[in-house]
Amino acid sequence: MALLKVDNLTVTRGGSTLVDDVSFAIGKGQRLALIGEAGSGKSLVLRAVAGLLPPGTTASGSLGFDDQPMPAGTADRLALNGRRIGVLLDRNSTGLSPLRTLGAQLDAALARAGREGDRAAQRTELLQEVGLDPALAGRYPEALAAAERRRALLALALAGKPDLLIADEPAAGLDLLEQRRLLDLILRHCTERGMSLLLASHDLRTVAMLATKVAVLRGGKVVEAGEKQEVFGHPRHAFTRAMLSAGRHRARTLMRTPIGGTLLELRDVSRREAPGLPLLDRRPPKVRLEAVSFAIRAGESVAVIGPAGAGKSTLLRIVAGLERASGGELAFEQVPYHGSDLPRMLRHEIGYVFAEPAGSFNPRHTVGESIAEPLQLEMQKSVDELGARIVEVVRAVGLSPDILTRLPADFPLAELQRLAIARALVTRPRLVVIDEPIAALDIGARGEVLVLLNRLRADFGLSFLIATHDFDVVRVVADRVLVLDKGHVVEATTPAQMLDKPQHPVTQQLVASQLPDVGIVPVF
């Protein structure tokens, strides 16, 4: 008997069909994952089932829950969501009210679920179930870490002990350790309580860990569906086969530039930040980095990995001249600097790719204007030469120069990331600093960007410094790995050594936290 039954679901907006005739069923205790490229309709299906479609969109078809039609009224649908259906759609944690403590929001969720009894004891139990300290109930969301806010959202979704959890990219953006902890929590609740799951994810490993059934979406349509072992092991549709191949990132090819002498050196670099106003707050400064020392050679690719808050992004920003070190010294081609005092004559030698491609472009400027901005460092060049440089880098990342007059909103995330890489290359740097190169991308685009980085490194003789929480980046792109924890480099090794024989306890935890691979070699 199906717990959730979706028949001929179609979602439209402004005359465009975004989800087209989607049908599936989830039995009690079953866990269905929707997978597909960005824009395939995964999130819209989940929102349609939860009754939370964005304004301007309409849904048709039929939805049934536990052999009854899904309530049509908003109040009845929200009541069902609070009691028998848990909803975890908000990966950015904006679903937590900034004006109420976590405890107050949990109490409200428990009340909506109709739970009777000692509210304080229920709240404590709920927080403990998601691995949070009950003392956090008195805090406001802004005082919680990102991973704690995500667990708090899970606690709100589980308050009614639901029969079905609807989760959209539940672990997106979390570091390796927190990602694994959150997914373990979801899996435990599903297995121990027989809770069903409707999941949307672009991460095949998340799907391999949580799902029992899989439906593949493309262009709003289901192109393949079945048991996980069957879809992953014997995919029938060409798109499914291509997506599974893209999700299995191959090791580095022979495309690489020769390794040369020292290009960048860090000597005891530290970064400390005052927790409040310098004259009023007497608390000791926060340590972001402490005595970090390493070198990058010409043509070398070094990855930095570590838990959230380890200092990865701070390190990259200091190297790129965007922040200043509190202590120690850096040297690029033996020219010393301390971060933001990077000499102007060297600024064109270091390119930077930000972690969020969508947020790194001015929405009012064309992408051509944004790519041209770093060329202000080379005003001595002729207009024709600078224009040719822009065309060169856009083509190098696999895009046509015809797109340069368009605005960022016209591009999917994968193309924006390519354009962000092109902008970093436009000054012809020797070192490119990249923060989370594939974290925001879907399955197919991730593999393509990793191959692109290796090709660009070979074609342009580049060195890379990459911050990541993704072991695929380490395997495919890096020559060496630095493991950072609480601002300290705790291990420096090669990708193979780190994955086979991690030495430091933090490295061992990171390696152990890897999600299981799909585990099935598809028969094509």
Q: What is the pLDDT of residues 349-389, one digit of tens each?
A: 999 999 989 899 999 999 999 999 998 877 667 777 888 99
* pLDDT tens, residue by residue, 224-253: 999 999 999 899 999 998 888 876 655 554
Residue 91 reports pLDDT greater than 80: no
The two beta strands, 480-485 and 301-305, are parallel
Write out pLDDT tens, residues 270-289.
Answer: 999 877 666 666 677 888 99
Q: Does 294 score more than 90 pLDDT?
A: yes
pLDDT given at position 78: 79
User: pLDDT at position 168, please?
Assistant: 94
Q: What are phi and psi of 101, to 5 degrees?
A: -65, 160
Name the average pLDDT for the chain: 90
What's the CA angle centered on 42, arms 37 and 48, to 5 degrees? 160
CA distance 293 to 337: 14
The predicted model gives 59-87 an average pLDDT of 88
pLDDT in tens, 390-414: 999 999 999 999 999 999 999 999 9
Burial of residue 461, with CB atoms counted within 10 A of its CB: 0-12 exposed, 13-18 middle, 19 or more buried: middle
Please report the pLDDT score of residue 245 as a whole number. Answer: 80
Q: Is 431:346 a contact under the CB 8 Å cutoff? A: no
Which pLDDT tens digit goes with each residue over 356-367? 898 999 999 999
339 phi, psi to nearest 5 deg: 120, -105
**pLDDT score at 281:** 61
In CATH, what class is 259-274+285-349+431-437+465-512? alpha beta
- What pLDDT shows up at residue 75? 77
Report pLDDT for 481. Answer: 97
> Could you tell me if 218 and 239 are in contact, meaning their C-beta atoms sit under 8 angstroms apart?
yes
Q: CA gyration radius for the chain? A: 25
* Per-residue pLDDT tens over the stretch 52-68: 899 999 999 999 999 89
94: pLDDT confidence band, cut at 50, 70 and 90?
A: low
Lowest mean pLDDT among 4-8, 189-193, 265-269, 518-522: 518-522
Is residue 299 within 8 Å of 260, Cβ to Cβ? yes
Average pLDDT over residues 479-488: 96
**Angstrom distances, CA of residue 238 to CA of 201, 355, 521:** 20, 31, 16
Q: Can you give the length of the chain in residues?
A: 524
Q: Is the pLDDT of residue 255 over 60?
A: no
Delimit the domains of the chain by residue range: 2-247, 259-274+285-349+431-437+465-512
Q: What is the mean pLDDT of residues 141-148?
A: 91
> So what's the pLDDT on residue 4?
96
Q: Do domains 2-247 and 259-274+285-349+431-437+465-512 have the same CATH topology?
A: yes
Question: For residue 524, what pLDDT band results from cuts at 50, 70 and 90?
Answer: very low
Query: Which CATH superfamily hosts domain 2-247?
Result: P-loop containing nucleotide triphosphate hydrolases (3.40.50.300)
Residue 254 clears pLDDT 50, i.e. is over it:
no
